Structure 1
Amino acid sequence: MVRSGDGNKVDGKVTVYVGSEGEGSMDLEICLSAMALGALMEDAEFMEAVGTKN
């Protein structure tokens, strides 16, 4: 889900929203360069710690 719009996409920007799954949840919008995202996806420890939702 895109929330902030195209004009607010800056590398390294993180925005936290009230979660769509109810009380106590949060949604994150994280803007990263392709290089930074690729490095994170190759980091096994990081990938074990995060959850993804399609």
Structure 2
Amino acid sequence: MAITELREDGVLGRLRGETCPACGDGTLVVETYKDNRAVVCEACETPRAQLW
């Protein structure tokens, strides 16, 4: 895992905890999406950013 993925000011860290713009109901969480680290909505499972 790259150091930038772990930093709070990285892309994933900045998006984590935000409201999902796709559904408006869920919160964005950091998890694996298609074998990549990503920020995904916990409600609708829409990825907002992923690193590969």
Q: Normalization by structure 2: what TM-score?
A: 0.24
Bigger radius of gyration among the two: 1
Q: Which has the higher strand share?
A: 2
Which has more helix, going by share of residues? 1
TM-score for the superposition, normalised by structure 1: 0.24
